[in-house]
Chain A
Amino acid sequence: MKGMSIIVKTISSWVKILIFLFGIYIIIFGHLTPGGGFAGGVILACSYVLLMLAFGREFAEENLSLPIASKLDCLGALTFALIAILGLVWGGCFFVNFLYQKYLPGEPFRLISAGTIPLSNIAIGIKVGASLFLIVVLLSSFRSNGLAGKKE
């Protein structure tokens, strides 16, 4: 049986959902409460790392395979750069907050406010979460069949 004992598996299969939701909350409310894309992305990656520790690496890779994770990583980076370039197109300046200044001012302390800042937070959150998951999976697979495989 791969992974840890049945107690750890049961608990982590409940807790992983809460951790994932908390990460999403931290990302989406990044412009209102403490947190943001980087912190929320790390929490998102943590839920998958918990899955990996409890159920084994193969189970985590079935849930989020490496090609999809690397595509998410690229997508997040691309979205963030795209938001900056859209500022150049519609706001006249690279990285200008064009949504807030021109199109959608919003009301402070509301969810829909601050223009491009929540969008950037979401992009960074996806990017950081996917890339941290990738790093952990790659390092663990390197440890399990990289250096040890050489000796055989």
Chain B
Amino acid sequence: MAIFYFLILFMIVAAIIAVETDNLLSSIICVGAIGCGGSLMFLFLYAPDIAITQIVVEVLGLIILIRSSITRDLTFISGDREFFEVVVSVVIVFVIFLAGSQVMKGIPDFGTPAYSQIEGSASQVYVEKGLKDTGAANIIAGIILDYRGYDTLGEATVLFTSILGATVILRERARKLVKESE
């Protein structure tokens, strides 16, 4: 439990720094730190799929924000490739390949879901009790609107917020204001 309080404190401090600092780049980096904390929190809450989504979105957002905030970011690499660096990168790729092939061995055969072998796992409960619990013949509707209603509410909120942002930015009054300021 202590790790959660630590993460929440870390995220709050990062959020305050992101709002208060004058430097745009450090503000963006603080936003990235908040996302990293959120991803770690999902990982400790046993939701690895959400943690992966979170980290991917954060990395992409950070790259886009940094690219848009730095005006001069073109750094040219000069000189030839050095032998040592090539060897290191080849070794890293080989190690990742070995690890991946070991992981592939542990995956069950095609057509046998991993969770069907575990008693009481979430997907088995959905399949066995879905119709009785929700009354919906389409089990997907039963899952996304009954078992995982919070998730759908979050998705609807994300959609609503994005439409709100797009409407505010693209409305005609905002464009008129931009023209007047020019």
Contact = CB atoms under 8 A, between A and B. Distances in A.
B135 interface: yes
A146 interface: yes
User: Which bucket holds chain A's interface residue count?
Assistant: 35 or more
Interface string A53-76: 000000000000000001001000
Decide if the interface of chain B is mainly helix, strand, loop or mixed.
helix
Interface string B149-167: 1101100110110010011
Contact of A114 (B142, B150, B171, B182): B142
Nearest to B131: A108
Contact of B170 (A94, A108, A121, A139): A139
A3 to B, nearest CB: 22
B179 interface: yes
Contact of A34 (B138, B150, B166, B170): B138
A105 to B, nearest CB: 7
Given A114-B136, A134-B167, A31 B179 contact: no
Contacts of A124: 152, 156
Contacts of B19: none
A32 to B, nearest CB: 5
